[in-house]
Structure 1
Amino acid sequence: MNPLLDPSPLDYQLPPFASITVEHYVPAFLAALDDHDAEIAAIVKNPEDSSWENTMEAFEASGQALARVANVFFNLSGTDSSDEFNAISAEVLPKLSAHSSAIYQNEALYQRLQSLTAPEDEESQRLLDHTLRAFRRRGAALSDSDKQRLTSIDASLSALAEKFRNNLLADTKELAVSFERFELEGFSDARIEAAAAYAREIGREGYVVPLELPTVQSEQSVLDLPASRSKLYEASQQRGRLNGEVALEMARLRAERAALLGYASHAEFVIEEETADDVAAVQGLMSGLAPAASANAMGEYKLLAEAAGTEITGADWPYWESKVRARDYSLNEDELRQYFPLSRVVRDGVFYAANLLYGITVEPRPDLEGYAPGVDVWEVKEEDGTGIGLLLTDYFGRPSKRGGAWMSSFVDQSHLLGTKPVIVNVMGITRPVSGEAYLTLDELTTVFHEFGHALHGLLSDVRYPSFSGTSVPRDYVEFPSQINENWAFHPEVLANYAPDLPQQLIDAIDAAKQFGQGFATAEYLAASIIDLAWHSLSVAEVSEITDIEAFEAAALVAAGLDVEHLKARYQTSYFNHIFGGGYSAGYYSYLWAEVLDADGFDWFSTQDDLRVAGQRFRDLVLSRGASRDYTAAFTELRGRERDITPLLRRRGLGGSKV
């Protein structure tokens, strides 16, 4: 009686979390792997001629038990990691990698798929192209010896990525910064209480501030003592102390895999699947923006140093940026927080905007359990009351939760499978000791951002699970999430969740939008450049690297982005997106998608009826997943091809040559 192996009896197949224990995972994985092997064998051995239904649709429908087990396990290993989860990962990841390789290198299955003619609809034709390309990229056309080497590389990369994540999580926990009471000058009483509570939670004395995923920590903007800011900043950069060798080996193996498959680099291998035309197009975007971003960042630094009356460091940059913002724009972030209570932002902001645009409602389901205390379950419905799916919200940080914010799914929408989506939004907001949590501007926009991803999953309306929701290229997947950020400050939405926010503060937020964009753009570009630098190397070039810090510095100098006192948003040893996640050679995608976002929101701003405009966006983008051509969808929405001008205007980079 393993609760993971059969479809859940709960609404929308919400996993029965209360019935699942760690002892269930390994047996469930092993049984599900056997089931999937049997399903693949049945397709291959089918004595009938290959047809769309008995081959492609059978392949799409296979592996449901394995997907069910994996979705629960990997979601919970990210939100509530433990030694037991790590041990299970170490056991099952090699098996999963080998299983996947065996499927995509199955010659008989590949031949059946190659013999197919897709139905005339666009989704089916795209599925055939997508599937055959996936088989080729996974080695279906290689010799037997090369297939074996590719399988070995994939297994090693899977294990190394898990090692990178575990090393980073361990360091993030260990390096959480201890303070004495006097060092927390600048913190509110509630924030001090939260630091004391976190210290007790992890068994330390005094006050502890946990580390966030990026290099710059948000608390650097409020801590008054330079030494306190430096403690946070330096601890952040010490993470991943064991990850240097892991990253080098991953870069080497990725380069070897690319060469084995006939690509010049891992970057070329990755970007073939993205909406960017090629590596040169990505490099052109970054090199076009780098000079203006560097100049703006250096200008901002001089302004902040003048305000401080002395030279400042990277640890001080956020603090003095907040001071100058308050001085020049009358914008005090601590004052602003009181207007952004989390519960109201979610109910009266995020959910209200979704109703305004797409006609959907989000209602609490207290009868359904989440996977941890504080995880809320909501049901999403159409205007007529028809159920769309479930949303789980997990907003507060825990010592066991990996850093950052993300959206994921427990169940994906598919008409072929008859499933509706079960989506989760995760963040790491500091839990208050009592009462309401109040959000910074960054946290506020992140709540809207992650719900944009959730909408992409919830409003999916496709037949095939391979194309469901966010199963799109990385440089397109951020388009819906980034465009949803804009609604945080739309006048009608803002008035609904922050009705007491004074007009002068609203005006100040608007006036200050471009302030700090030099720093924000430069630190992001720096991380993107480091990512592309690693993944443009050959095996021989990776083998020559002995000093990772020097390699990063050289890449930034070559790109014209060597800004004193400014560190990349992520450095190699804690760059989880590219070594522990799925963004290798793709971290540029946030900026690429922001071109679509800025241009797309310009279109929204010209529409008289938001409900009509929202429905059009839903029909052309949110509901379609990967089932139609992305460029065609955007062009149909906008009435023309994308234009980078709105992005340059938004970021104050109007002089850039892109």
Structure 2
Amino acid sequence: MSDNPFFEPSTLAYGLPPFAEIREEHYLPAFERGMADQLAEIAAIVADPEPPSFDNTLVALERSGVLLHRVRLVFDNQLASDATDALQELAAEISPRLAAHADAIHLDPALYARVRAVYEARETLDLDAQALRLLERHHTRFVRAGARLSPAEQQRLREINAQLASDATTFRQNVFDDTRARALVLDSAEQLDGLPAGQIAAAAENAKALGHPDGTHVLSLKNFSNQPELASLTDRAVRARLLEASLGRAVESNGPVAIRMAQLRAERAALLGYPSYAAYVVADETAGTVEAVDAMLARLVPPAVANAEREAAELAKAAAADGITELAAHDWAYYSEQVRKAVYDLDTAALRPYFELERVLRDGVFHAANLAYGLTFTERDDLTGYHPDVRVFEVFEADGSPLGLFLGDFYARESKGGGAWMNELVPQSELLGRRPVVVNNLNIAHPAPAEPALLTWDEVRTLFHEFGHALHGLFSAVRYPLFSGTEVPRDFVEFPSQVNEMWMDWPEVLANFARHHETGEPLPAEVVARIDAAEQFGQGFRTVEYLAAALLDWAWHTVPAGQEIADAQEFEAAALARAGLALPAVPPRYRSTYFSHIFASEYSAGYYAYIWSEVLDADTVEWFRSGGRTVRASGEIFRAELLSRGGSKDALDCFRAVVGRDPEIAPLLKRRGLTGA
């Protein structure tokens, strides 16, 4: 494999991976050489005859594993965005090997001895703030990885880590497979009554792409519980089928996997001296303690449930007019839409023509980045992405100097996981001389040929949200790879992306992109006002479905070591009942068996992060709107003091540097309609 494109740094602009050259058979040899190279680099650090120093130990650690990191970033993104059977099989094989590789580094006693020696001498080393933080973070990572455990305890930890890595891959693949298997196949367009013509045409195209006969329509499932089509479908039986398909994903296959993972994580936490996995996780986050998270979630549940119950009463009246005596979960979104039309004179489906993807991207997302930060974007047709749908943009500073690359992969496809996310393909680092390359993945339905891609209001929000993550990666200006971009606490990482959502209804930005794709007419000002009013109406449902998922995550990960769990569905039902969130008409945003955030991703015991970060977000939006500064002046402060820092500075200190004080919860309570909390 001497021609393996991973073996040498890319010669493309900004080190963009050479996707045109990468084939599936390149991954395994690159993983294997990458692991071998890093272990050799670690052995050289350990064998250094010189006394341990910051440079020969910590900086050397930061320079190690470049090949492994390069292949892993590309592989992880492709596995999520354009998976094949071969890639799924490789993930199952390589995940436990990567876990063992990480353990081989962090459980190496000689390496830890060198790190500890430098750490214990830290006050005598005259390190600058970023170097001192690097030393402290590495030392913490070794301790949290088990470096202080006995050999027997470390062996058990290795076994647990390997099994968890394997289980996470199994969980992800089960969700991937069952999400596709349970796509709703409909025999006629009439069953899609209520959907806009463009969505019906897209469902027909989806059916064709999946090999179904002419006349068939397919609604593929999004990764969350309540599917967006539920708001429009007039056929109640079709709505029921769609939600049943969504809620039933991977129940049989992933129930046992979730139980085993929760029990193994609890055992792992106990080995490391923590009463639960949640306690282990949160100790290294901005929240700090389980009690802090408990207190915030408990404060929010009662008023959120009260809001949802008030909304339910309004919806029940609308449903009763259609002869429905009991509002079901599959009715909620539909009758919410009917109430919005009746009370707020707002038809969200009728808004879609004002939100054409290309215009929202260029005249909304990019325009906001120009207003706040001076950025400009040039599409690079000469640079190739990993799929034909992927677009590559070069990003420039206000003075015309180059900043990095942004890749946009906006459309859904059978090979892509659900949801939306940002990945770094080349993380910024001054030490390694790298500038950032980032990608946003969304799951917008591919329009029929020659038709525009028209977005929902929620999809507009998602586009702005994910670009907030992209900016966090693009603006990174740190020395060490450990701190690059979004390498911040999990309960902080959503904060910058949530702040970026504010631009979607910022008057100057909204007026620039919200124009009818055929006539060019702007979205009427009175409609904008009605959107704002209607947003408050749905907050009860949105907050409850989110809190139900967050508290499910918390229930799974506050299980003490040794506790038996017989059945995942029974565990879930009991957890929701204890939390006061067992509302049949409001299912959790994710049920346990397809909750990939916590069983196949980085958010285990961390899904609370979205609302925790929203406290900071809502407070920061208030700061942007006050103080008499220009948008550009506020943007430069936010960039310099927070977005550029990555993990090189304490996260809450970054917040304080921007806002000038500790965060306050009042703006969040106002936004969510929870002022009674």
TM-score normalized by structure 1?
Answer: 0.98
Shift of 1:214: 0.7
Q: Distance in 1 between matches of 2:584 and 2:174?
A: 29
Q: Deviation at 1:453?
A: 0.3
Is the contact made by 1:298 and 1:563 (CA closer than 8 Å) also made in structure 2?
A: no
Confirm whether residue 403 of structure 1 aligns to residue 418 of structure 2.
Answer: yes
Amino acid of the structure 1 residue aligned with 2:21: S
1:543-558 aligned at under 5 Å gives the runs 543=564, 545-558=565-578
1:615-636 deviations in whole A, cap 9, x for unaligned? Answer: 0000111000111112222122
**Separation in structure 2 between the aligned mates of residue 188 and residue 600 of structure 1, nearest angstrom:** 37
Give how far 1:119 is off. 4.2
CA distance in 2, matches of 1:190, 1:514: 28
**Does 2:150 correspond to 1:135?**
no
Match of 1:274 in 2: 285
Residue aligning to 1:387: 402
Percent identical: 49
Equivalent residues of 1:414, 1:464 under 8 A apart: yes
Tell me which residue corresponds to 1:350: 365
Report the counterpart of residue 329 of structure 2 in structure 1.
Answer: 314
Amino acid at match of 1:650: R
Q: 2:579: which partner in 1?
A: 559
Aligned to 2:197: 189
2:487 matches 1:479: no
Q: The residue matched to 1:19 in structure 2 has which SS?
A: coil
What is the deviation of 1:513? 2.1
Tell me what 1:178 maps to.
185
**Could you tell me how far apart the structure 2 residues matched to 1:130 and 1:212 are?**
37
Contact 1:444/1:488 (8 A) holds in 2: yes
- 2:536 alignment partner, SS class: coil
CA contact (8 A) 1:363 1:380 kept: yes
Structure-1 separation of matches of 2:16 and 2:636 = 27
1:583 aligns with 2:603: yes
Report the alpha carbon displacement of residue 22 of structure 1 after superposing the two structures with TM: 0.7
Q: How does 1:565-576 map to 2 (within 5 A)?
A: 565-576=585-596
What are the within-5 Å matches in structure 2 for residues 160-559 of structure 1?
Answer: 160-181=167-188, 182-205=190-213, 206-241=216-251, 242-309=253-320, 310=324, 311-434=326-449, 435-499=451-515, 500-541=522-563, 543=564, 545-559=565-579
Q: Contact (CA 8 Å) 2:184, 2:220: kept in 1 or not?
A: yes
Q: Report what 1:36 is aligned to.
A: 38
Report the counterpart of residue 94 of structure 1 in structure 2.
Answer: 96
State the Cα deviation string for residues 263-292 of structure 1 (Å, max 9, x = none). Answer: 100000100111002001101111101000
Structure 1 unaligned segments of length 5 or more: list them: none
Q: Which amino acid aligns with 1:191?
A: Q
Task: Give 2:486's aligned amino acid.
Answer: T
Deviation at 1:578, TM superposition (A): 0.2
Q: CA deviation at 1:301?
A: 0.7
| Contact 1:470/1:625 (8 A) holds in 2 | yes
Alpha-carbon distance between aligned partners in 2 of 1:91 and 1:314, rounded to the nearest angstrom? 39
Q: Report the equivalent of 1:613.
A: 634
What are the Cα deviations for residues 15-47 of structure 1, in whole angstroms up to 9, with x where unaligned? 111101111111111111111111111111111
Aligned counterpart, 1:624: 645
Matched AA of 2:562 = A
Does 1:8 pair with 2:10?
Answer: yes
Normalization by structure 2: what TM-score? 0.95
Is the 2:276–2:561 contact (alpha carbons within 8 Å) kept by the matching residues of 1? no
2:20 partner SS:
helix
Structure-1 residue corresponding to 2:519: none
Task: Report the alpha carbon displacement of residue 548 of structure 1 after superposing the two structures with TM.
Answer: 2.0
* Worse overlay, 119-128 or 329-338: 119-128
Residues in 2 aligned to 1:637 and 1:383: alpha-carbon distance in whole angstroms: 21
**RMSD value, Cα:** 1.0
State the AA in 2 paired with 1:9.
Answer: T
For 1:387, the aligned partner's letter is P
- Distance in 2 (CA, whole Å) between partners of 1:576 and 1:92 is 19
Q: 1:119 & 1:267 partners in 2: Cα distance? A: 36
1:315 Cα offset (Å):
0.5
Q: Report the more deviating stretch, 157-166 or 356-365.
A: 356-365
- For structure 2, the 5+ residue unaligned runs are 516-521
Q: What is the CA–CA distance in structure 1 between the aligned matches of 2:499 and 2:115, rounded to whole Å?
A: 37
Asked whether 1:22 is paired with 2:44, we answer no
CA shift for structure 1 position 251:
0.4
Corresponding residue for residue 78 of structure 1: 80
**Cα distance, 1:120 vs structure 2:** 3.1
The SS at the match of 1:513 is helix
Question: Residues of 2 paired with 1:461 and 1:278: CA distance?
Answer: 30
> Which residue identity does 1:258 align to in structure 2?
A
In 1, the alpha carbon distance for the partners of 2:651 and 2:539 equals 28
Deviation at 1:203, TM superposition (A): 1.2
Question: How many angstroms does 1:204 deviate by?
Answer: 1.8
Q: Deviations over 1:288-314 (max 9, x none)?
A: 010001111011011001012132210
C-alpha deviation, 1:639, in angstroms:
1.7
TM-superposed CA distance for 1:331, in Å, is 1.2
